[in-house]
């Protein structure tokens, strides 16, 4: 069980350190090796996704990632930015299936900006396609063209999906729904975009293979609205790379804190990259303010999806629930009447609960 550890930038190293303590406490004989991805890799090697990291990531069974990026590197040319490292590792490892659960823990019902009755008991899963769509489509770029009778700069990106790409993410979503409340909602924009008409057609074609799952469809603008109007109507949502990027940030906020949400990005064989949904938060880095729970929960997803250690995964998740019940909170989820703790103290508490 080889794990490639990529702490990354900003708060990445602090939160990954806490997740590693939890993994080590499970005493499961993981082989772990650390490497550079993102801004720290740019600083050390000039490349956000250096070859040594590529080799290690390819050889590992799973990758645990903190977060990448920060204003320091935003001035660099596009190809050298930390985000390029993230897109690069997703593509290189073929991590097409991004699972982003949004679960509201009862103790945090008041942390949401939505009314508690709208969000309490929320438990939905966004299945986002991660290696296609406008993120990777060609042609792309900024070029000079004659348009509207003038030679000017035009920006070009291409939204493109093949039916095989849609089918494989569709199968992941139907399978996930089968194990949950058996409701799948596919999100598209068929009133405008042909790519997404194909998306809906392929989802409909898959549906007879999963008679136990109820398939529905929503246009993305309506889906965005429904997510804040009545989010509990959803069980599993499946959508393309760009819509999934946007809707998963929206869904995360229903739960009150993006600091609580893990994610998994899987290939066809169960190999995966696991990372918290939040970013590198450079403004709070090194201040012991970061919430390590999303990374700890990402490690639990790794136990479940790559190593098929369901019991260990649940042990970790139960430990997290237990510290919340004890009233321990990092600053991002702090409320009067609870106990404010730092990053490492939160790790201590999860270990104690384990
Ligand atoms: C995410 C992020 C990335 C994405 C960025 C950092 C490239 O927003 O994982 O959701 O757009 O996929
Ligand atoms: Mg995003």
pLDDT tens string 217-275: 999 999 999 999 999 999 999 999 999 999 999 998 898 777 899 999 999 999 999 99
Task: Confirm whether 148 is a catalytic residue.
Answer: no
* Burial of 56 per CB tally in 10 Å (0-12, 13-18, 19+): buried
Q: Is 83 in the pocket of ligand 1 (CB under 6 A)?
A: yes
Q: Ligand 1 atom 6: the closest Cα is on which residue?
A: 83
The atom number, within ligand 1, closest to the CA of 249 reads: 10
Give me the pLDDT at residue 96, please: 98
User: In the chain, what are the domains?
Assistant: 1-98+263-354 (3.40.718.10), 113-136+162-255 (3.40.50)
83 alpha carbon to ligand 1 midpoint, in Å? 7
Q: At what angle do helices 82-92 and 51-59 cross, to 10 degrees?
A: 40
Q: Of 2, 221, 283, 287, which one is the catalytic site residue?
A: 221
Please tell me the pTM assigned to this model: 0.94
pLDDT range class, residue 51, cuts 50, 70, 90: very high
Q: Ligand 1 atom 2: the closest Cα is on which residue?
A: 245
Arithmetic mean of pLDDT, 13-22: 98
Q: Is the model's pLDDT at 17 over the cut of 80?
A: yes
Percent of the chain with pLDDT over 90: 90
Q: Ligand 1 atom 5: the closest Cα is on which residue?
A: 83
Taking the C-alpha atoms of residue 19 and residue 36, their distance in angstroms, rounded to an integer, is 17
Give me the pLDDT at residue 106, please: 86
* Burial of 348 per CB tally in 10 Å (0-12, 13-18, 19+): middle
Encode pLDDT of 60-98 as tens digits. 999 999 999 999 999 999 889 999 999 999 999 999 999
Q: Is 250 in the pocket of ligand 1 (CB under 6 A)?
A: no
């Amino acid at each position: 069980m080889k794990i490639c550890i990529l702490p990354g930038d900003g708060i990445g190293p602090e939160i990954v350190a806490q997740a590693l303590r939890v993994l080590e406490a499970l005493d499961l004989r993981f082989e772990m090796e650390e490497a550079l991805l993102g801004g720290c890799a740019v600083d050390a090697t000039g490349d956000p996704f250096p070859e040594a990291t590529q080799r290690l990531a390819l050889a590992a069974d799973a990758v645990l990632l903190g977060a990448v990026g920060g204003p320091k590197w935003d001035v660099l040319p596009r190809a050298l930015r930390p985000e390029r490292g993230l897109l690069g590792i997703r593509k290189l490892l073929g991590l097409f299936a991004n699972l982003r659960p949004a679960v509201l823990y009862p103790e945090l019902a008041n942390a949401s900006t939505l009314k508690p009755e709208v969000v309490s008991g929320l438990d939905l899963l966004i299945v986002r396609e991660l290696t296609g769509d406008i993120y990777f489509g060609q042609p792309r770029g900024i070029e000079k063209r004659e348009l509207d009778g003038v030679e000017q700069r035009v920006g070009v990106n291409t939204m493109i999906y093949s039916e095989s790409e849609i089918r494989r993410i569709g199968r992941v979503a139907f399978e996930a729904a089968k194990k949950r409340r058996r409701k799948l909602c596919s999100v598209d924009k068929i009133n405008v975009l042909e790519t997404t008409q194909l998306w809906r057609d392929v989802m409909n074609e898959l549906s007879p293979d999963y008679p136990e799952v109820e398939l529905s469809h929503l246009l993305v603008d309506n889906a965005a609205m429904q997510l804040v109007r009545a989010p509990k109507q959803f069980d599993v949502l499946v959508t393309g790379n760009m819509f999934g990027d946007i809707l998963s940030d929206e869904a995360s906020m229903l739960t009150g804190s993006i600091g609580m949400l893990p994610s998994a990005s899987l290939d066809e064989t169960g190999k995966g990259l696991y990372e918290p949904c939040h970013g590198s938060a450079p403004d709070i880095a090194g201040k012991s303010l970061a919430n390590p729970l999303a990374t700890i929960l990402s490690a639990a997803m790794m136990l479940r999806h790559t190593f098929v250690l369901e019991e260990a995964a649940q042990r970790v998740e139960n430990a997290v629930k237990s510290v919340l019940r004890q009233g321990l909170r990092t600053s991002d989820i702090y409320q009067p009447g609870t106990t404010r703790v730092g990053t490492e103290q939160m790790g201590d508490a999860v270990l104690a609960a384990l």
